[in-house]
Structure formats: structure tokens, C-alpha cells
């Protein structure tokens, strides 16, 4: 790949990311006018975070290992580190569930409140 090809590829990527970023900004700016949008977006995000972390915990408990950047943390070899990661993930799930409950209460109370 020549320097010219690399610069063209970088330019295409910049245009694509810039265009998509502006489109996303426009969509969120438009949707933020509605009072239910912000709590609903927070609810969807909290549910997805909860599901992702739950799948990590489930995988770790079923297989006895937690994938890490360079290697895996095995329950047999490093039990303290393994259980500390599990405890941290459980704490993250509790926080995400707390956000979910608060948002649901706000939505039930009056449709989202002030933006």
C-alpha cells in the first residue's frame, strides 16, 4: 500500500465517521426534545450493560476462567483474583439495576421529568 492509498483510506474513514457522527448528533438533538427520551435511553443502556455483565459472570462461573488481555484468570490458579473480578462484576450489575429501577420510577412518576 502506497502513501497515497493510505491517505485516501484515512480520508474516507474521516468522512464516514464525520458524516455518521453528525447524523447521530442530529438524531439525538431531535429526540432530546421529548421528555421521555432521556430516561428511556438510560433505561435501554442500563439493561444492555446488565445483560453484558451477566453474560460475563455466567461464562466465568460455567468455565472457571475470566478472559483477560494477555491470558486468562483461572479459578484454580488464582482464586482470590478470580472471585474479586466476580465480586466487581456483581457490584456493577447491582449499580446498573439500581439505575434501571430509578429510571423506571421516574418514568412511572411523570414521564421523565425535566431535561
* Mean pLDDT in residue range 11-31: 93
pLDDT at 115: 47
Q: Which is more confident, 82 or 115?
A: 82
Q: Is the confidence at residue 112, as pLDDT, over 90?
A: no
Cβ–Cβ < 8 Å for 28, 74: no
Task: Provide the β-strand partners of residue 70.
Answer: none
Helix (H, G, I), strand (E, B) or coil at 34: coil
Which has the higher per-residue pLDDT, 110 or 114? 110
d(C-alpha 90, C-alpha 72), whole Å: 19
In percent, how much of the chain has pLDDT > 70? 96
- Work out the number of other CB atoms within 10 angstroms of the CB of residue 54: 15
User: H-type helices in 1-115, by residue range?
Assistant: 3-31, 37-63, 79-110
* CA pair distance 98, 50, nearest whole angstrom: 10
pLDDT at 87: 96
Q: What is the pTM of this model?
A: 0.68
Amino acid at each position: 500500500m502506497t502513501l497515497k492509498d493510505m491517505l485516501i483510506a484515512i480520508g474516507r474513514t474521516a468522512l464516514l465517521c464525520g458524516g455518521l457522527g453528525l447524523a447521530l448528533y442530529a438524531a439525538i438533538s431531535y429526540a432530546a426534545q421529548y421528555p421521555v427520551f432521556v430516561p428511556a435511553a438510560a433505561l435501554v443502556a442500563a439493561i444492555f450493560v446488565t445483560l453484558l455483565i451477566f453474560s460475563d459472570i455466567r461464562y466465568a462461573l460455567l468455565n472457571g476462567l475470566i478472559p483477560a488481555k494477555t491470558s486468562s484468570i483461572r479459578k484454580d490458579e488464582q482464586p482470590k483474583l478470580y472471585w474479586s473480578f466476580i465480586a466487581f462484576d456483581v457490584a456493577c450489575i447491582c449499580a446498573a439495576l439500581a439505575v434501571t429501577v430509578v429510571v423506571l420510577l421516574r418514568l412511572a412518576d411523570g414521564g421523565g421529568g425535566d431535561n
